[in-house]
Structures are given as structure tokens and as C-alpha cells.
Amino acid sequence: MHFRARRLVPIVAALTILLTSFPAVADLSILQPLDELARVSPVVVRGHVYAVDSAWDAGSIYTYVTLDVAETLRGDVPTERITLKQLGGTVGEMGMYAAGQALFSPGEEVLVYLSIRPRDRTLMTAVLWQGKWIVDRSGGPDEAQVVRYSGLDSDGNLMLNDTRPLSEVERVTHEALLGARREAEMIVFSPPEAPAPVNTVDSPVAAKIPLLGYSWHEVFAGSLRRLRLDKTKQPGVGSGKKQAKKIAKKQNAIAGSLAVWKRGSKYNGSAKGSSLRDPSCLSDIVIFNSDPSGELANDGTLAVGGAFFYNNIKIRGLNMACNGFVILNDGSTADGFNKDKTCYQNILNHEVMHVGGLGHSTKKGNLMFWSVDVTSCKSGDIAYGKDDKKGFKKIYKKSYATREGS
């Protein structure tokens, strides 16, 4: 997968959606009902995380989660150890973190609902964070609970999404799958490029994926972040140039020097890419319509966005961002949103805000609130709320202090 940037990480978000009578979701959002989550997931297993390691593949960074399977609730799993492939991670001085992705730690007991990545048939959590539940047995074997987190807020804190008895979750899953049929699909349970497990449960000190946020150094240098469009088109929308210009204008109004486009500057409507490993820091934000690399499954994900960063260079306590990206999904589930020009603009705006380093808001009415319903997404521009403006100004104040999260 080629994102046209040098490094890759923090706060990307992924909008998710539920095309039923329930509200649809944008990036960490309103729950997809558990029975529906089970039905869209070709593999559902419970097990223990043995190792979590990151590595490059096809011009991007992924985190490989080695999982020892204890129970299979759905799918034909031919081995007791499988490896999930999650978007984002850190490798040496380079990193990528995608908000909306489920985060794993060695030693966790988890119940995971899994989708298949179209590009290489590897497994990843279904509908981003919604596919991962942590099993908590502290109350005793008969009172096991499962806990789910919906990512990070703008202060870097994990947002608790749901807590239920493990027995209830397994019962609902089993009932949802009674009589359910899926055609046999090719699945890669052990990606050949995955690194040998190093960060394991047996490690003296298990490494953790850093949650430190990032900042765009161009802001403080007074230069321009360039917003570029890949050659792909989005059905019903086209190139997205019109929407991108509107978003840039709106963001400039609240962020001052955090300019992605401004009057009088040349707008480049076609990204001609250097590769991800290009040594130059182009400060581009590239928009990929219709998921040209086959990164997103047709499981309810609408879009993901993020930024590459230098893991060893800090700007006022934050990692230095260098190039960003937004990928719009083209799956049938996402079409109901991404084909609508107004909704496309709201989704893209949300993602570009993540590219700037902003996390989610816990307050309704803000663009960065972790969910959006179908009506509001399509009815008009979602305005920036107090939380949105406060978050951006907090990141880009010269007095910004070191903190975790983003």
C-alpha cells in the first residue's frame, strides 16, 4: 500500500456506519449491534495475545498481533495461533497510528470479530475498534466480563464504550449465527511478511505502542500544508476537489497558520507520488477516493485518515508529523454515505481534522464527536463546535506542553 509520505502515525480516524434503523456512525461511534457485528465478521475467536510487533509492508506500517486461539465462535480456523494485521505502528524512527484501530497488548485475553483485508486477505478487527473486546476475569470464572473501548479522546484518554457479561456476548453471537451462511473465502491466517515475535508475553518489559500525539512543524514555520487528490474518483462525488477546498477554507479560519489551502496559492488537484519512503517531507495530505489499494473491508468502515511522523523528532513535546492521508471506502455498505456530496464533505472534514492531530470529542454537536447520524451527515455542513476549536488551538499554541494522547 503506497500512501505517498515518509512516515506514518497518530490520529487518524475511521468513520464507521450501520445501514439499518440504527444511527450510522462516524469513526469511533455508535455501536453496531452485536448480532450484526457477528454476521459481518467471517471469523470470530477468543484467545490470548502472545505478541504485538510492527513492521513495514507494501510501503506502509502495520502492527502484527499474534493470537493464541482458545475458542472459535465462527469460521474455519486451521491453526491454534493466528496473526492479525492492524493498520499503523512504529518501526524505529518512523511510525503510524490510526485512530479507530483496536490496540492490543501482550497478555490480554480478547474476544475478536474479524474482517478480511481485500488487498492481501489478512485478518483485522471488524469495523475498526468495534471488533475487539477485552475479557476481564477478575470477578471469578463465573463472572467474566468483556470490555470495549472506542479509541482516544482529544486528551489521549481511552473512551469506555461498553461492558457486558462474556456469557451474554457469546450467547448473542451464537444466536446471530444460527443458520447464517457465508461462501468460503481465502484467508491468510499467518501473513508471510510478519516479523518474528519479539514483543511477547515473555518479554522482560513488553514494549507499548506510543500514544504520544503529533504536531505539524510547518505550522510553526509559517508554511503551507498541501492538500492533494489522488487520481481516483469517488462515485457520486468525483474528485472531491470542491469539497476539499471548502474544508481547507473552514479549517484555516480556526487554525490560522495551519493552512491546507488558502486564497492565492496554487491548488494541486493531482498527487503524483513519491513513495512512502521518500526522504523528503512534502507536507502533503493526500486524499484517496474509493480505497484504490484495497485496504478497507466492506464491514461498515467509511474512511480512515492519519499522518506519518518522525518518532525521534519532537515539536513542543509532540512527534513531528510529515505527510498525511485520508482513504475513503468504496464498499457497498459505505456507498450510502460516501456517494452523497454533503456527507462526503463532513466525513472528509472529520478525517482531515484527525490528520491535523485532533482526537475525538465526547460532546455532541462537535464535528469530532465520535458518531454522526445519517440525517445530520447528509443535511448540511456539520459546524465546528467549541471542543473542535479548543482542541486545535491547544495543539498549536506555542506553550503546548508534553502530554500523552493527541
Alpha carbon distance 5, 320 (integer Å): 13
Q: How far is CA 133 from CA 149, 200, 326, in A?
A: 8, 20, 26
> Fold identical between 30-177 and 214-395?
no
The pLDDT of residue 205 is: 61
The pLDDT of residue 271 is: 32
Q: Do residues 35 and 327 lie in contact, with contact meaning Cβ atoms separated by under 8 Å? A: no
Cα 124–Cα 130–Cα 135 angle in degrees, nearest 5 = 90
Task: List residues bridging with 132 in a β-sheet.
Answer: 112
Question: Do you know the residue count of the chain?
Answer: 406
Alpha carbon distance 137, 199 (integer Å): 24
Cα 167 from chain centre: 29
pTM for this entry: 0.84
Other C-beta atoms closer than 10 Å to the C-beta of 328 total 29
Alpha carbon distance 374, 21 (integer Å): 10
Give residue 75's region: left, alpha or beta (phi > 0; psi -120 to 50): left
Q: Which of 377, 378, 382 is nearest to 367 (CA)?
A: 382
The pLDDT of residue 392 is: 80
Other C-beta atoms closer than 10 Å to the C-beta of 83 total 21
Q: How far apart are the first and last CA of the chain?
A: 25
Alpha carbon distance 116, 238 (integer Å): 27
Number of C-alpha atoms within 13 angstroms, CB side, residue 68? 11
Q: Do residues 73 and 45 lie in contact, with contact meaning Cβ atoms separated by under 8 Å? A: yes
The pLDDT of residue 86 is: 96
Other C-beta atoms closer than 10 Å to the C-beta of 399 total 6
Other C-beta atoms closer than 10 Å to the C-beta of 269 total 14
The pLDDT of residue 233 is: 93
Alpha carbon distance 126, 101 (integer Å): 10
Alpha carbon distance 320, 109 (integer Å): 34
Give residue 31's region: left, alpha or beta (phi > 0; psi -120 to 50): beta
The pLDDT of residue 141 is: 77
Contacts of 157 (CB under 8 A, 6+ apart): 405
CATH for the stretch 30-177: 2.40.50
CATH superfamily of 214-395: Collagenase (Catalytic Domain) (3.40.390.10)
User: For the chain (length 406 residues), average pLDDT per consecutive 10?
Assistant: 36 36 36 88 97 92 97 96 95 83 93 97 94 94 90 72 94 94 91 95 66 69 70 92 85 62 42 36 82 90 88 80 88 86 93 85 82 81 88 69 36
Q: Which of 260, 330, 267 is nearest to 295 (CA)?
A: 330
- The domains of the chain are located at 30-177, 214-395
Q: Residue 347 carries which DSSP code?
A: H
